[in-house]
Copies of this chain bind each other. A is one copy, B any other.
Amino acid sequence: MILPKPDESTLMTTSLPSADQAPKTMTDYVYGQLREDIIQGKLIPDSKLKIEHLRGEYKVGATPLREALSRLSSDGFVITEGQRGFRVSPTSAADLDDVTELRIMLELKALKSSLLHGGDDWESRVVATYYQLSKVEELDLFENLAVWEQRNHDFHWALISACTSKWLLHFYNILYDQHKRYRNISLIANLGKRDVHDEHQRIYAAALARDVETACRETEQHIRLTAGITHQVLQELAKEKTA
């Protein structure tokens, strides 16, 4: 078993997502890989996930693979039917709307709780992640997409990290990544048409001022904008296919 340096690893983690828990086990490793490849769209929606093929692709045995796929199925990234193996969960405009609405509800609730309970450590995290995000947003985004993605996630996570509900954060994590799946389709269109940094700045200011009302409003608008543009791109792609 050749694996990177070991580290803590629990389900429903409350730690920052950038703390990229180095996997202790083959299952954990391939779980992370598969999840990431699904989110990145490298494994295309509704395509079949054949064990033998994946075995060669990720250099792991069948057992850890099946375990990882089982987990992913409960996360909603993979669907499994009777004796017909696994496949990547399909995507659709309807599902995007579904994910978006629920994510808004959960994120706003988490944000509110976080603003009410966050202490000095929370403030520090918000300031630090905002600073790092700002740095990369001054550069050419198109050349630093991966870094921006990471820091964007870190910032949003820091904002809600003081939320007291473990379950809320757990579900939020799933929906955030589901949403990311769609957003990746339209990332370029998204970043081109907006002043994302300005949106972040406003959320940041409201959060530190503990202005729940404003922070929630700005966050909701922020998410809806992304989802809206993604929805457009998705429909354009659908039209191209039929035409």
Q: Which B residues touch A102, using CB under 8 A?
A: 165, 167-168, 171
What copy number does this chain have within its complex? Answer: 2
Interface size on A, residues (CB 8 A): 40
* Residue from B24, B71, B76, B171 in contact with A73 in the complex, judged by beta carbons closer than 8 Å: B71
The answer to the question of A83 belonging to the interface, with a C-beta cut-off of 8 Å to chain B, is yes
Are A166 and B98 CB-contacts (below 8 A) given A70-B27, A71-B71, A71-B73?
Answer: yes
Q: Is the CB of B76 within 8 A of A75?
A: no
The answer to the question of A124 belonging to the interface, with a C-beta cut-off of 8 Å to chain B, is no
Q: Which B residues touch A227, using CB under 8 A?
A: none
Q: Is the CB of B63 within 8 A of A11?
A: no
Instruction: Give the interface SS of chain A, mostly helix, strand, loop or mixed.
Output: helix
Q: Is the CB of A95 within 8 A of B166?
A: yes
Q: Which B residues touch A67, using CB under 8 A?
A: 66-67, 70
Interface, chain A (partner B; CB < 8 A): 6, 9-12, 24-25, 27-28, 63, 66-68, 70-76, 79-83, 95, 98-99, 101-102, 105, 109, 164-168, 170-171, 175
